[in-house]
Amino acid sequence: MKDALKQRILASVSEDLTAIEGALATNLRPNLDLVRQIAGHLLFSGGKRLRPLLFLLSSRLCNYGGDLALDVSTLFEYLHAATLLHDDVVDEAEMRRGRKTAHSTWGAAQVVLTGDFLLARSLCLAARTGRPEIINVISGITEEMSQGEIDQLDKKGKLNLSEAEYMAIIKGKTAVLIQGACRSGAILSRAPADREQALADYGYHLGMAFQMADDLLDYTADAATLGKNPGADLREGKLTLPLILALERADGPDRSWMESVISTQGFNDDDFYKLVEKLHLYKGIDDTQSRAEHHVDQAKKCLEPFDDCGAKDTMIMLSDYAIARKA
């Protein structure tokens, strides 16, 4: 069923995805070939293109009739790539999308500056719309994402991280960009304020569900499917919702053991898989899934005011796929 859903989505957006790939290459245009190499190492190593796709679908849902949508859509992938380049340097990550991270090849300084270039390119594309509201959205996204990552770093290794703190972190690091892509599609289309807010709310709920699903995959997927080693977040000291919920519920001995594993850098595979068993035992996995499903339901409700059309159907399918995917 999951594969069938994926195939239905791909069939509905294949032309859009092809167009996005071409526009990403065309709009990159750095003066230095090194910048193209570093940016391209991540940009063209796969990726779902969810953010530019949602921008296109949102503009289509609001009956946009201009010719700017495709080029503007790419700014959301550039923003996403910039944050990934920066994050991998900060986290000293070795793998991304099944290949070596950019800084493992070119060095941290060049990669950070390439991320800065992508942020600048994003603002350039936003300015091309002539809509200050979109520029405001983009600047707000970069502010919130930066603070979300700083907040996560500040709370790294915190054993009593609360669910509310976790929700604030994932809103900043993931949901705001997806929310901004959807909102900007409405703004470019000059949609009424209530439709703009509905799409922004859709993007928020989809982004929250998407990140929770990512955090589940860190404990439930294998390395080949995930493109990185399972437990990567935990090894970096990042507590996510499955673990937060399990820690809150674990009895004394189990909680003490779990805390000792979390506090031990370089814990072994046996400890990791035993920890996953504890997450299942204390419903950390199940209840994270339930919370993600709630956000998916809310995302779908946000689309109810819009007329039925292909774009709406695809956005509903993307909501379901956010928590059904394997990677």
Tens digit of each residue's pLDDT (9 = 90 or more) over 114-141:
999 999 999 999 999 999 999 999 999 9
Measured CA to CA, the distance from residue 202 to residue 33 in angstroms comes to 38
Query: Out of 21-25, 206-210, 268-272, which region has the weakest mean confidence (pLDDT)?
Result: 268-272
pTM score, two decimals?
0.94
The phi, psi pair for 308, rounded to 5°, reads: -65, 135
Neighbours of 256 (CB within 10 A): 10
Q: Is the pLDDT of residue 314 over 60?
A: yes
Question: What pLDDT was estimated at residue 100?
Answer: 78
Q: Is the pLDDT of residue 326 over 80?
A: no
Question: What mean pLDDT is reported for the chain?
Answer: 92
Question: Once rounded to an integer, what is the mean pLDDT over residues 252-261?
Answer: 94
Q: Of 176, 186, 221, 223, give the one whose Cα is nearest residue 315.
A: 186
Measured CA to CA, the distance from residue 76 to residue 57 in angstroms comes to 13
Question: What pLDDT was estimated at residue 311?
Answer: 98
Neighbours of 105 (CB within 10 A): 13
CATH of the domain at 269: 1.10.600.10
Cβ atoms of residues 76 and 177 within 8 Å: yes
State both tokens at 126: 């936003």
Label residue 104 by pLDDT band (50, 70, 90).
Answer: confident
Domain residue limits at 98: 2-324
Sign of the CA dihedral running 238, 243, 245, 246 = negative
Tens digit of each residue's pLDDT (9 = 90 or more) over 3-53:
889 899 999 999 999 999 999 999 998 888 888 998 888 898 878 899 999
Question: What pLDDT was estimated at residue 200?
Answer: 99
Question: What pLDDT was estimated at residue 178?
Answer: 98
State both tokens at 35: 């910048």
96 has which bridge partners?
A: 99
Tens digit of each residue's pLDDT (9 = 90 or more) over 157-194:
889 999 999 999 999 999 999 999 999 999 999 999 99
Q: Specify the length of the chain in residues.
A: 327
95 has which bridge partners?
A: 100
Cβ atoms of residues 195 and 186 within 8 Å: yes
Q: Of 278, 319, 237, 326, give the one whose Cα is nearest residue 3.
A: 326
Question: What pLDDT was estimated at residue 92?
Answer: 73
Q: Report helix, strand and coil shares of the chain as percent, to nearest 5.
A: 75, 0, 20
User: Domain total for the chain?
Assistant: 1
Question: What pLDDT was estimated at residue 226?
Answer: 62
Which has the higher per-residue pLDDT, 234 or 141? 141
Q: Which amino acid is at 245?
A: L
Q: Is the pLDDT of residue 1 over 60?
A: no
Label residue 90 by pLDDT band (50, 70, 90).
Answer: confident
Question: What pLDDT was estimated at residue 53?
Answer: 98
